[in-house]
Structure 1
Amino acid sequence: MDAFDDLEASPVNTEPSTTSETQSRRHVAVIGGGVIGLSSAYRLAQSGLDVTVLERDEIGQGASWGNAGWIVPTLIQPFNSPGAATDAFKTFVTRGGYAALRQFPTPRLAAWGLSFLRHSGSSRSAASMRTLAAMAHDTAEATGQLADELDFEVHRTGLLIPFRSDEALEGYTHTQAQVQELGYEGRVEWLDSQQVAQREPSLSDDLAGGVHLLDELTVRPDSMTSALARGFREAGGELREHTFVTGLDEEPGGRWTVATTSGADLLVDAVVVAAGEHSASLLRKGRARILLQSGRGCSVTLPPVLTLNQAVKIAEVQVACSPFDNGQVRVSGTFDLVGKDAPTNRSRMQHVLDAATPYLPGLAEVDLDEHEVWSGARPTTPDSVPVVGPVGPAPGLYAATGHGTLGMTLAAGTANTIHTHVTRLMRSRGVATA
């Protein structure tokens, strides 16, 4: 067998099989307690299903904890855009850019890379962007409603993108036009240098201009995951932390056994795999194959060394800055191709701060040695489109993974899609759902 044979995407079961069984089988296992898994589990529990979340560590402590917390349906440009491969190679060689290769080549990385190259042409990249635009539509509104419902920290102050060069600002007008052609309906204000300074006094005074996307949201990620976990429990859901899944086995009648290290295996009617960078290996246990590659980001959450009136994206160096209610500011960036469970690289966080300081001079005061650096993996597919829905040859197995840098943005929409698929399966088996 060729080394890459087992890496090919498996056939997707797009329709649930019907059955004459009418007993009320309604148990769903969701593997993964991050924002994607918790959002999906909460939505399923609301529909009246019995849902158990299995988390290998602690709820909300993985890639969902220290990210920027942005709900940004305008930032849906796929990683596999034309020229991205060349740009990535340059940063890999210079070791000083937004992206970095920090793992030894493996057959799986090679397979992902080859598929990425195949999807990096203009037509396939455009198709990815159309799909992402559709997935991101109404996500800001849905997340805002969820924040009102569950009472987690949300900032409705938009996203400010400043530019130092006229060329970069002009280039972004094309990007924004593409997004609007695909149905983006958010309010957009183009700003000159003086207006940028008025909106955000903490920025440097040598900017060419910028754009303020007024309807983008920022949430505090740990506030959101904690609220989702609380709401999930109140809806009757069960959370099991420090529980590793070791097997997914099909059973007669369309059920699944989920084997765990705790010894308390589950017999369920559907399984949703939302386990971040561990999703591909878990799905293989259920005879489903997808290609994922971890893109590790890092962040530092700072005391009030500067004040931001809204989230700021420094697009020219790919740095995100998020203000929170307690006065803290989170600075994040990088997209490093790494193996699973790769350690945090503090030098990469220093690169982020160095890149951002010309735009936010207040960051020059930060001594990184005095702060904890966080990093988290953002699994990405070769075409930048998440895998959400039924996978594999047998009914009842679903994926919700591969969101890359858009996990927070797409969480609410992913939950609704998973809810649609799982409840359709349940109804086909005679189970009533809300």
Structure 2
Amino acid sequence: MTKITIGRMSRVIVIGAGMVGLATAWHLQERGYDVTVMDKEGVAAGASWGNAGWLAPAKTIPLSNPSLWRYGPTALLDADAALSMPIRFDPRLWGFLARFMGQATTRAWDATMAALTPIDLEALAAFDELELGGVDAWTRKGPFVIGFEEESQAAGFLREIEGAVRHGQEAPLTPLDDVQSLAPMLSDAITCAYRLDGQRFIEPGPYVEALGRAVEERGGVIRTGAEVVSVNGDSVVLDTGERVETDTVVIATGAWLPALARDHGVRTPVQAGRGYSFSVETEQPAEHSVYLPHHRMACTPYQGRFRIAGTMEFRRPDEPLYPRRIEAIVNQARKVMTGVDLDNRQDEWVGSRPVTPDGRPLVGRTATENVYVAGGHGMWGVVLGPATGKFLAQLIDTGETHPAIRPFDPLR
């Protein structure tokens, strides 16, 4: 149980100022906690900044699926493929990949989808709660446009949507005859398209920055510039040597989570699944999110431009941006887009998303009293962050585990 000190608010240090960490901090404040958020770089400095900003529960599904057995081996030999990893001696990486591929079965996909569905169903309402609570940011509704060059390419996507619906999701999907009416940047190469309703998107960097401001406006402290190097149940130690006392610690450091969580009994590996993105101008304004599953590209309007995101690159989280991965996305985009200035790119970015082998996040109490973790969401940290923060704050405050996070026991 959480340690409460009589005579003052219980203190919590949240390590990590991304969507998950800040949402946890905000909900702890709702429950009366004194919160300090620590991040070595700053708010939204990691995977929370440059992603596609999708709030799409119907697509918040397991990453590992049976198609990997067909696609994965050939992708490693294709420089333009969305899946990429270095061919080098790295036992930890290859061990993770073996476990990840071990989940690429229909049975495992269904088990993980069953585990994700309860929190998927809470995801959008959790954003509404933040905004009603004073977070000065928006979510935007509207159809997602899903495009393919030929009908046969849609089979895998349709199976995924069917699987999400079978597990309890709502995913209104209808054929789209005039794709350019909603997505004028898609060329005539796209001959098969659908519209997916019931989803939303955000501008992720600005949204997370607004959440950070809300935490500070309510009395929270966000400390940057120093790295937490060790965690105890009653304190954290910074790389400066400073020891900061607290009553409770939440580790929400994304792809870097194992460095601090391993000493507290969290043994599930977390691998950086790095995503790349950039923004471009379009001849006609982009108004809706666009998904090109065959080319593994997720696109969304972003501050008057069009953000194009893609790639699942398994490397170490701190490795530099590899321009060849940007080129790979551009090469794919040229096949299916028109009226898009792909040579005048801005905001080129790489971010490390925290991927677990079984596709389930790590959310809950560790083996050390008063130390909790929140991470391992893979590509879904933005959409699941607010709900994760809400239910983890409930656990810290009451000792009760909400059913939506019960499958994510970090000690599994």
Do the structures match in fold with TM over 0.5? Answer: yes
Q: SS of the counterpart of 1:414?
A: helix
Residue 79 and residue 271 in structure 1: after superposition, are their counterparts in 2 closer, same or farther (change >3 A)? same
Q: Is the 8 A contact 2:79 2:328 kept in 1?
A: no
* C-alpha deviation, 1:20, in angstroms: 10
Q: How does 1:244-323 map to 2 (within 5 A)?
A: 244-249=227-232, 255-323=233-301
Find the counterpart in structure 2 of residue 401 from structure 1. Answer: 375
Q: Which amino acid aligns with 1:233?
A: E
RMSD over aligned Cα, in angstroms? 2.3
Bigger CA drift: 42-51 or 143-152? 143-152
Distance 2:35 2:245 in 1: 12
Q: Residue 50 of structure 1: which of 21, 34, 45 is its match?
A: 34
- 2:56 equivalent to 1:81: no
Which letter maps to 1:286? H
Deviation at 1:319, TM superposition (A): 0.4
Q: What letter matches 1:395 in structure 2? A: E
CA change 1:25–1:234 in 2 (3 A) is closer
CA distance in 1, matches of 2:286, 2:347: 21
Name which of 19, 25, 31 aligns with 1:41.
25
Distance 1:316 1:86 in 2: 13
User: Of 101, 105, 112, which residue of structure 1 is paired with 2:96?
Assistant: 112
The reply on whether 1:423 has 2:401 as its aligned counterpart is no
Aligned equivalent of 1:414, options 385, 388, 398: 388
2:270–2:376: 8 Å Cα contact kept in structure 1? yes
Shift of 1:314: 0.8
Q: Counterpart of 2:250 in 1: which secondary structure?
A: strand
Secondary structure at 1:202 match in 2? coil
What residue is the counterpart of 1:66 in the other structure?
A: 50
Distance 2:319 2:245 in 1: 32
1:177 has 2:162 as partner: yes
Amino acid of the structure 2 residue aligned with 1:401: G
* 1:172 counterpart SS class: helix
Q: How does 1:130-141 map to 2 (within 5 A)?
A: 130-141=114-125
CA distance in 1, matches of 2:156, 2:241: 56
In the alignment, which residue of structure 1 is the partner of 2:361?
Answer: 386
| Superimposed CA distance per residue, residues 115-172 of structure 1 (whole angstroms, 9 cap, x where no aligned partner) | 2233233222211111122221131232244345312143212311112211123443
Corresponding residue SS for 1:341: coil
Q: Does 1:337 align with 2:314?
A: yes
2:335 is equivalent to residue 358 of structure 1: yes
Distance verdict in 2 for CA 1:95–1:206, change over 3 Å = closer
Cα offsets for 1:155-194 (capped at 9, x unmatched): 21231111221112344333222111111124x2412433
Report SS of the residue matched to 1:298: strand
Which residue in 1 is equivalent to 2:409? none
The answer for the alignment partner of 1:430 in structure 2 is none
Give the structure 1 partner of residue 112 of structure 2. Answer: 128
Q: Separation in 1 of the partners of 2:4 and 2:140?
A: 49
Q: Equivalents in 2 of 1:62, 1:305: separation in Å?
A: 30
Unmatched tracts of structure 1, length 5 or more: 1-15, 250-254, 427-434
* Structure 1: distance between partners of 2:284 and 2:87: 35
Q: Look up the match of 2:139.
A: 154
SS of corresponding position for 1:146: helix
- Aligned residue pairs: how many? 400
Q: Does 1:97 align with 2:81?
A: yes
Deviation at 1:374, TM superposition (A): 0.7
Moved more, 56-65 or 84-93: 84-93
Deviation at 1:305, TM superposition (A): 4.6
User: SS at 1:93's partner residue?
Assistant: coil
The TM-score with structure 2 as length reference comes to: 0.90
Determine if contact 1:297/1:376 at 8 Å carries over to the other structure: yes
Is the contact made by 2:157 and 2:293 (CA closer than 8 Å) also made in structure 1?
A: no
Cα distance per residue 1:11-51 (max 9 Å; x no partner):
xxxxx38x898665611111101111111111111211011
Choose 1 or 2 for highest CA Rg. Answer: 1
| Distance (Å, rounded) in 2 between the aligned partners of 1:200 and 1:25 | 51
- Over 3 Å counting, the alpha-carbon distance change for 1:110 and 1:102 in structure 2 is closer
**Is residue 297–residue 335 contact of structure 1 (8 Å, CA) maintained in 2?**
yes
Amino acid at match of 1:337: F
Aligned counterpart, 1:347:
324
Answering whether residue 221 of structure 2 is matched by residue 238 of structure 1, we say: yes
Residue aligning to 1:6: none
Q: Deviations over 1:355-380 (max 9, x none)?
A: 122322123x3215x64411100010
Q: Partner letter of residue 41 of structure 1?
A: A
Note if contact 2:4-2:10 (Cα within 8 Å) is conserved in structure 1.
Answer: no
Relative distance call for 1:89 and 1:256 in structure 2 (3 A) is farther
Deviation at 1:80, TM superposition (A): 1.7
1:29 and 2:13 are equivalent in the alignment: yes
Query: Is the alpha carbon distance of 1:178 and 1:51 closer, same or farther for their aligned partners in structure 2, counting shifts above 3 Å?
Result: same
Consecutive unaligned residues of structure 2, counting only runs of 5 or more, are 401-412
